[in-house]
């Protein structure tokens, strides 16, 4: 603070107010730091019994047995990663297309309202996506697989496989997550592609490049780093999504390698099994250990995303 030595009662008061306000805002900033620290500490303390019991094998064990109180996170980690990667695999190309459409193909007058629409889509609560997935998408998928197997498949093995696909599965969860992260990634892509300096684009147009060539060779390379960051943000969102996934993944705690079978993610398991975990039980500790695992995974992804997307974006 660049104040001179107080000379009158009034300025002493002023200095006090100055210092008081600075202290209050600093204190609020520190609260935020403490919050993250407290989340880590609380999860670590709560999950300690589970790690003492199962050791590092907790992360690699594919057994989740509530009856015999043997818990491992393997099935859930697998489900979390597979659903999230599936979501990105579907959402990133779609988001790129949507962003290109919004920034380059759409007439100026429509750009703003459609952009608003995209941001509104991102604001819809996740439980709505879950209900849509469960009541609309899942029946549609099982009807689709049934129709395909009835009409086109002769081999009994493939027929039985297709028939066995239920509407709720790891695959369905991936689809719903893709729908959820699509507006988020699209909005970020639009912002990033829109930030390409016009001079750069115009000079390449001047050389005779087509629209696609300008996007591919100028806009995307220019924003590549930020775009990777945006995808990571989408991944962070998908990894921890709870309600939408809980509705459509089937919440199976038995291991299956097929993505067309029911499964579970870390978040869906916590949401689904918490009611059965009493205060101080081993199950509670195991669920908190799952939470800590999710925290570590998403912290890594989000930290990388933030480092890539400049602080003023997203």
Partner 1 sequence: MAVVTSPLAARRKRTSKIVAALCMAAAGIALAVLFSILFTLVSRGLPALTFRLFTTETLPTGENGGLANAIVGSLIQVGIGMAIATPIGVLAGTYLAEYAQKSRLGAVTRFVSDILLSAPSILVGLFVYELMVATTKTYSAIAGSVALAVIAIPIIIRTTEDMLSLVPVPLREAAAALGAPKWKVTTLIAWRAAGAGMLTGLLLALARVAGETAPLLFTSLGNLNWSTSLSEPMASLPLTIYQFAASPYGDLVELAWAGALLITVGVLAINIIAQLVVGRKR
Residues 203-242 that bind partner 1 (CB under 8 A): 210-213, 233, 236-237, 239-242
- Interaction with partner 1 in 57-116: which residues (CB under 8 A)? 93-98, 100-102, 105, 116
Residue 268 to residues 17, 128, 197, 286, 308: CA-CA distances in angstroms?
49, 16, 43, 14, 29
Choose between 164 and 224: whose C-beta lies nearer to partner 1: 224
133 contacts: CB under 8 Å, gap ≥ 6: 172, 173, 175, 176, 179, 244, 247, 248
Nearest approach, Cβ of residue 155 and partner 1 (Å): 31
- Are 181 and 236 contacting, i.e. CB atoms less than 8 angstroms apart? no
Q: Tokens 């009158």 sit at which residue?
A: 8
d(CA 167, CA 143): 8
Among 1, 5, 67, 157, binds partner 1 (CB under 8 A): 1
17 binds partner 1 (CB under 8 A): yes
State yes or no: residue 136 binds partner 1 (CB under 8 A).
yes
N- to C-terminal Cα separation, the chain = 33
Cβ closest to partner 1, residue 30 vs residue 158: 30
Task: Indicate whether 274 belongs to the interface with partner 1 (CB under 8 A).
Answer: yes
Tokens of 135: 């009541």
Residue number, 162 or 215, with CB nearest to partner 1: 215
For the bound state, the minimum distance from the C-beta of residue 87 to partner 1, rounded and expressed in Å, comes to 13
Nearer to partner 1, 186 or 261 (CB): 186
Candidate list 87, 138, 179, 286; residue touching partner 1; CB under 8 A = 179
Piece of the chain touching partner 1 by CB under 8 A; list 24-32, 62-70, 141-149, 195-203? 24-32
Stretch of 49-57, 147-155, 166-174, 270-278 contacting partner 1, by CB under 8 A: 270-278
Measured from the CB atom, is 6 or 55 closer to partner 1? Answer: 6
SS3 content of the chain, % helix, strand, coil (to 5): 75, 0, 20
Which lies closer to partner 1 via its Cβ, residue 66 or residue 313? 313
Question: What is the C-alpha radius of gyration for the chain, rounded to an integer number of angstroms?
Answer: 25
Closest distance of CB 263 from partner 1, Å: 17
Q: What span, in angstroms and rounded, lies between the C-alpha atoms of 254 and 251?
A: 9
State the sign of the Cα–Cα–Cα–Cα dihedral 248, 70, 63, 87. Answer: positive
């Amino acid at each position: 603070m660049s104040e001179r030595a107080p000379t009158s009662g009034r300025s002493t008061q002023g200095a006090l107010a100055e210092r008081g306000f600075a202290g209050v805002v600093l204190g609020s900033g520190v609260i935020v730091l403490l919050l993250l620290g407290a989340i880590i500490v609380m999860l670590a303390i709560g999950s300690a019994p589970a790690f003492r019991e199962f050791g590092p094998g907790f992360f690699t064990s594919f057994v989740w047995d509530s009856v015999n109180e043997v818990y491992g996170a393997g099935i859930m980690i697998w489900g979390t990663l597979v659903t999230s990667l599936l979501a990105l695999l579907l959402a990133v190309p779609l988001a790129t297309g949507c962003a290109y459409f919004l920034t380059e193909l759409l007439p100026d007058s429509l750009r703003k309202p459609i952009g608003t629409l995209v941001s509104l889509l991102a604001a819809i609560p996740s439980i709505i996506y879950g209900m849509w997935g469960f009541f609309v998408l899942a029946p549609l998928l099982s009807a689709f697989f049934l129709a395909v197997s009835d009409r086109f498949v002769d081999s009994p093995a493939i027929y039985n496989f297709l028939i066995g696909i239920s509407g709720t599965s790891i695959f369905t969860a991936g689809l719903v997550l893709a729908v959820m992260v699509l507006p988020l990634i699209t909005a970020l892509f639009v912002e990033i592609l829109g930030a390409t300096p016009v001079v750069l684009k115009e000079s390449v147009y001047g050389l005779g490049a087509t629209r696609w060539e300008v996007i591919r060779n100028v806009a995307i390379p220019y924003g590549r780093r930020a775009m990777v960051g945006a995808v990571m943000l989408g991944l962070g969102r998908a990894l921890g999504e709870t309600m939408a996934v809980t509705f459509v993944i089937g919440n199976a705690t038995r291991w299956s390698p097929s993505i067309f079978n029911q499964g579970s993610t870390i978040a869906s398991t916590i949401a689904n099994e918490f009611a059965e975990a009493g205060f101080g039980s081993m199950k509670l500790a195991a669920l908190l250990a799952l939470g800590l695992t999710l925290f570590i995974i998403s912290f890594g992804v989000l930290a990388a995303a933030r480092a890539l997307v400049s602080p003023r974006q997203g």
